[in-house]
Structure 1
Amino acid sequence: MKKNIFLTFFVLISFASLGQQKSVITGKITNPQAGISEIKFKYLYDFRNFRKNADAKIYKVDEKGNFKIEENLSELVFVQFEYGDWGNTLLLEPGANATMSFDSKSKDKDKLYKINGRGAVGCQFLEAIFYSDTTISKSKDFSKAFTKIDELGKQAQEGLNTKYSKVLSSAAITHLKEELYYFTYLTKLQLITKDRENINQIYSGKAPEYVVEFIKDLPFKDAKLNNFGFYLLYNNGLHLRFALEQEDYNVRQYNVINKVLPPVLAEKESVSVINRLIENGDFLIADKLIKDLSQRFPASDNQKSFDEKIAETKKLLFNLAPGKNAPAFILKNLNGKEVSLSDFKDKVIYLDFWASWCGPCRGEMPYAKRIKEKYKDNKDVVFLYVSIDEKEDAWKKGIEENKIEGVHLISNGFFSDVPKKYMVNGIPRYYLIGKGGEIISNEAPRPSSEEQLTTMIDKALKN
């Protein structure tokens, strides 16, 4: 396992352009790992532009453990640095000139590596908030824990004013202070959401008032997009903000998004909500929100893409209407053998789209077992499970753990061919297909609706 120090918490961030300057880190590795002769150096996700992670650059390590990294930078960045099973996140400024040394066999985190010089530091300075007091994560008294988190944030601020002010520019120090502001909120959010019971209270409207007020006050609206702390709040806290409103889920999301997010993010997320409504065939609600979006952002032109998506969705819906032939497909079973839908000609097929990680899907399995028991002697009924798992091991483990009997196929994700053909935008999703290959229902009852489902199957068997 990598000795990653705060590795998962940072992305590429930047502020005003400083012009291209060469940044250099020369280093020495003590006790080089056998067979490892390179360092991976990677710029991470750019939140402002919604870019994916960049490919890692490779720097060679010689037989004595020496290496040299040279990068032309115009802005402050956070980068992922990996050597064998060791990794860390570094902050690097344009014009940095630093040396780095580490012992790959050291078990002492504080002695594992050292950086000297200007313009480059590791990111341990933020660990004070997350890791210095393990009792915080166990606390049930949120108000006291919140006070402690604020104290740790102040301590980290003081560290920036003393230790790091000697090696970083004033612009970098200012930016990191802003990050600390958001990370104190994030730590409190993690504390609240660590216990599933707390999340259930929020969604059911039973959360303590100070928790509700905390969620309402999460600093979304005035955020700067180059703050990664904001990015984490955005990804981890926005759904809780949705939960405080009492409207249709998609409309609720749309309204909250435009209430709490900066305009550039609000437009992007609003488009996603509308596209999801279109994909689900909710054209009336989608049309209402499209009109509202055009008024909020008159300079943007999303109408063409919406029109194209509506036309595409209507075509899919037409092809999936009861009486239409079920779309043909070929997928692999548990043994890697290709299985076609046409292999089950002249049989009634109960088609279940599911995944091993889907709680509601697993929750239906005991009911499905009862229904299969009723038809165990009827060879004209097939229970066909198409998983959207992307990992075969997880798929097979899910089948074994849940003891799911039937025909099992895997389709490798929501965006693979079969879920797209069948408009599977959420799971579980059920279809009932007749003996002639025609769709009887594109929204078949769940196994837990036993009477309704068995009545439908019995009728299909008679036709």
Structure 2
Amino acid sequence: MKPKYLFFILIFLSSFATLAQTQFKFSGEIQNPTERKVLITLYRDWVGEEEEYEIELNEKNQFSFSSSIKHIAYIDFYYADQGFHYWIIEPTDDITIKFSPKNFWTSIKVWGNGSENWNYYIKQREKFEVKRDFEMEAERQSQTAQQQYFNFLDNEQLTQLEYLEKTPNLSKIFIQSRKADIIGAIQNYKINYLSSKKYGSWLEEKVKTTLKLEALADSVQANSLEYGNMFQNLMDLFIAKSSNRKHKELTENEELNLIKSSYDKDYFSFKLIERVLAFKLNNMIDAENISPKVQTLVEDFLATANDRDYKNYLSNKVNFSKTLSKGSPAKPFKLKDIDGKDVSLKDFQGKIVYLDFWASWCGPCIYDMKFMEPIKEKFKAEVVFIQISLDSEVEWKDAVKMYHIKGINLRVDENSSITKNYGISGIPAYFLIDRKGNFAVSQVADPSHEEGQELIKQIEEVLQRN
């Protein structure tokens, strides 16, 4: 299945509120603003949905944001085209910033509880990204001999860790979390390098010994963005190597068991393994809805996992996914078509309905559409084809005209109740609804798969039902 184009919407599939949570506070003032809103994305963990907020400036060009968090989290902040990505925050932080959009990085001032950590990021960026572009150096070094490249990465890791540890007034948990991020990010360069065919014969243990890791607390491993990414990519490499040895793709259960077997007392904790297992299961639900196979795997995880947040999230997601599974009633909606006329799903009771959530900026969406034209023609007398765009109104109308999209064309905002009700976290997303108004299949075939033949079979099967 081809990857979907993702966008972020705020979906509360689970509640993370606990008595242990503390209010994180973030406010600021923008000098000579060019826009009237700031964008903030909050990442509580790496399994549940990220939370995206648009916050309007007040008459004094100020904004304010707060949220309850119970351990370290990460934040993105953007104003126009300026900002920062994946900065660590703590539950007790009370941060205030002030900047000018014309020269964001040279004008930014930060103060308040936790500001030392943020000022570290500002100085770290200047040292390792502006004065000396580490990523560009790493790209050049990757073309050299393997040992030379790995020595370069290890030296860089040491340099960045020394800079972190010499920075005064940083909190202890920030130092440990940032240390995990540095190690994870730099060692991930090695994993990406070793994913090439040249090193496909290396045993897993040899791959592990090339990684320069350090002992980290369980919670630090699991909460770190980069350390988790590094471990996840390492597991994907091991899964690929195991598949090559067996000359077949591993089953989902075999993949999960391989991840479970990678526990290491110091370097890969159970908590980190639970995070990656939960992430994999989350992706399986997105890809396959809640098939019996996926449900069994999720139930096994729920029965043995310790992390309450992961368990709650997956449990709620399974329950939500069941509302989109075969036989469940399709979610009602009412939207205006391209001519401004109201169109409601209930208008088509007794008919087969094909829904396509798409956008003009989504490459796979546009690619699939050319395969849909003959399918629409084949079933035009029996099936209602509805395209629901997530574009702005202008972009939507231009795209419908440009791509000659036939059928009923509707538009909806990305964060509307309709996208939430249909669980749209990525596009393209397809649904097939039977004459009784129920979802006809749990997973609709992509129109481009087998040049539309699988989708045609699905539609024909639904048409044959009473």
User: Which of 353, 358, 363 is matched with 2:356 structurally?
Assistant: 353
Taking the aligned partners of 1:422 and 1:80, their CA distance within structure 2 comes to: 23
Residue in 2 that maps onto 1:340: 344
Q: Number of aligned pairs? A: 408
Q: Which amino acid aligns with 1:339?
A: V
Taking the aligned partners of 1:43 and 1:372, their CA distance within structure 2 comes to: 39
* Root-mean-square deviation (Å): 6.7
Greater C-alpha radius of gyration: 1
Structure 1 stretch displaced more, 260-269 or 47-56? 47-56
- The residue correspondences of 1:12-411 to structure 2 (distance < 5 A) are 32-33=31-32, 44-47=42-45, 87=83, 105-106=102-103, 109=105, 111-113=106-108, 119-120=116-117, 121-124=119-122, 126-127=124-125, 131-137=133-139, 141=143, 143=146, 145-162=149-166, 164-165=167-168, 167-168=169-170, 173=175, 175-186=177-188, 208-209=199-200, 217=208, 224-233=221-230, 245=243, 247=249, 250-252=252-254, 254-260=256-262, 262=271, 264-265=274-275, 268-269=278-279, 272=282, 279-280=289-290, 282-283=291-292, 285-286=293-294, 288-289=296-297, 292-293=300-301, 296-297=304-305, 313=322, 317-318=326-327, 329-341=333-345, 343=347, 351-356=354-359, 360-372=364-376, 380=381, 384-387=385-388, 389=390, 399=400, 402-410=403-411
Q: In 2 relative to 1, CA 178–307 (structure 1 residues): closer, same or farther, beyond 3 Å?
A: closer
1:270 Cα deviation from its structure 2 partner: 7.0
1:332 Cα deviation from its structure 2 partner: 3.0
Instruction: Please say if residues 327 and 440 of structure 2, whose CA atoms lie closer than 8 Å, have aligned partners that are also in contact.
Output: no
Taking the aligned partners of 2:109 and 2:423, their CA distance within structure 1 comes to: 55
Q: What do residues 14-54 of structure 1 show as CA deviations (whole Å, max 9, x unaligned)?
A: xxxxxx9xx999x999xx42689x99898953339969659
Q: Percent identity?
A: 18
Taking the aligned partners of 2:362 and 2:399, their CA distance within structure 1 comes to: 10
Taking the aligned partners of 1:82 and 1:255, their CA distance within structure 2 comes to: 40
Structure 1 stretch displaced more, 172-181 or 394-403? 394-403
Q: Please, which runs of 5 or more residues in structure 1 have no aligned partner?
A: 1-19, 68-72, 193-197, 321-325
Instruction: Please say if residues 431 and 441 of structure 1, whose CA atoms lie closer than 8 Å, have aligned partners that are also in contact.
Output: yes
Taking the aligned partners of 1:385 and 1:327, their CA distance within structure 2 comes to: 14
1:123 Cα deviation from its structure 2 partner: 0.4
Q: In 2 relative to 1, CA 267–364 (structure 1 residues): closer, same or farther, beyond 3 Å?
A: closer
Q: In 2 relative to 1, CA 158–268 (structure 1 residues): closer, same or farther, beyond 3 Å?
A: closer
Q: In 2 relative to 1, CA 224–379 (structure 1 residues): closer, same or farther, beyond 3 Å?
A: closer
1:76 Cα deviation from its structure 2 partner: 8.2
SS state at 2:45 partner:
coil
Taking the aligned partners of 2:236 and 2:162, their CA distance within structure 1 comes to: 33
Q: Which amino acid aligns with 1:355?
A: W
Taking the aligned partners of 1:49 and 1:183, their CA distance within structure 2 comes to: 19
TM-score norm. by structure 1 comes to 0.56
Q: In 2 relative to 1, CA 141–59 (structure 1 residues): closer, same or farther, beyond 3 Å?
A: same
SS state at 1:122 partner:
helix
SS state at 1:160 partner:
helix
1:411 Cα deviation from its structure 2 partner: 5.6
Q: In 2 relative to 1, CA 82–426 (structure 1 residues): closer, same or farther, beyond 3 Å?
A: closer
Q: Please, which runs of 5 or more residues in structure 2 have no aligned partner?
A: 1-21, 64-68, 263-269
